[in-house]
Amino acid sequence: MSNILIIKHGSLGDITQASGAIQDISENHLNDNIFLLTTKPYFELFKKNPYIKDVILDKRLPRYNLIYLYFLMKELKKYKFVKIFDLQNSSRTQFYKKILFPKAGCEVWSSSYTTLPVGKDKNEFDKYSVLERFSHQLKTSGLNISNTLLPNFEWASTDINDIKTQFDLRKYILLFPFCSPHLSIKRWPYFNELIRLILDKFGNEYKIIIAPGPTEIKEAKSINAINILNNEKALDISQLTSLIKDSSYIIANDTGPAHIAAHVGAKGLTLFGEHTTAAKVNIERERFKAIQVNDLSKLSAKKVLEKIEENLR
């Protein structure tokens, strides 16, 4: 029995998308121990993943922090990993490779760098969709895959009956109107107008709710929807996953919760502007669709409602 390491630092959307690849790695190494290196926001979450034996914390301190770097590398070396699957594929993880396995190819260190298609450089390869890149990486590394292109994030869910009882949540439409401040290009500006149209159309059939993140709680007061918190705090990732999974419908900007919705089988819609495409991030599924426009400010609430009506019932 050998030790295998997977590296996946974040973000939430990326974590969600990597679930299928992690499952395939595990199922191709049933007689080995699978460990995962991740960051603090996802450390406890990954402990719930049934395909991972244990989780190792990377604080991701600056590379010039030589003391931290020394102890992290010492920690990794003690496991005597025979294979590393780098699903982060960042300059930082390439730096780790140069320390741990400087001369290794994909037979030891599997990454998008060590498995590049013949005749393509990294910039060209990164134009592929996220899941296509994972698929190519794992197949080139000798794995049989059946889950990479169809990630399932339901393992992350938990029991939220107490929260649903507190807010009397039976049939509800869940909105995600926020995004990271530095990615405001992803933000659709007409959620309050959409809420009014939904209420006019469906009356009291559905509750309209939002589940703000820790930095969004204050801003959430500007949205005319029920604010779902747990003891005045934002839901954790597992609680959020369950809230999404049990919803009647999701409407979201291109954010982490939208990716959760896509990969737990939720029904819903995500809104894309010019920042990227739905195809590039593999977010559309049988029940979860996207509207793609050049300018989100020109996408009307009425148009979004029409799409919701097509899919809600």
pLDDT tens digit string along 99-122?
999 999 999 999 999 999 888 888
The model's pLDDT over 55-103, given as tens digits with 9 standing for 90+, comes to 999 999 998 999 999 999 999 999 999 999 999 999 999 999 999 999 9
Q: Is cis: bond before 11, omega within 30 of 0?
A: yes
User: How far is the C-alpha of 206 from the C-alpha of 60, rounded, in Å?
Assistant: 43
Q: What is the mean pLDDT of residues 32-56?
A: 97
pLDDT at 126: 86
Please name which of 92, 87, 102, 108 lies closest in space to residue 4, comparing C-alpha atoms.
108
The model's pLDDT over 279-299, given as tens digits with 9 standing for 90+, comes to 999 999 999 999 999 999 999
Question: Do residues 191 and 267 touch, judged by C-beta distance below 8 A?
Answer: no
User: How far is the C-alpha of 147 from the C-alpha of 22, rounded, in Å?
Assistant: 9
The model's confidence at residue 180, banded by pLDDT at 50, 70 and 90, is confident
pLDDT at 313 exceeding the cut of 90: no
pLDDT at 166: 96
For the chain, what's the residue count? 313
pLDDT at 211 exceeding the cut of 90: yes
Domains in the chain, CATH or no CATH each: 3-152 (3.40.50.2000), 164-312 (3.40.50.2000)
pLDDT at 108: 97
Element at 168 (helix H, strand E): none
pLDDT at 181 exceeding the cut of 80: no
Average pLDDT value over all residues in the chain: 95
Strand order in the sheet with 172-176: 226-227, 207-210, 172-176, 249-253, 268-272, 288-292
pLDDT at 312: 79
Pairing of strands 33-38, 3-7: parallel
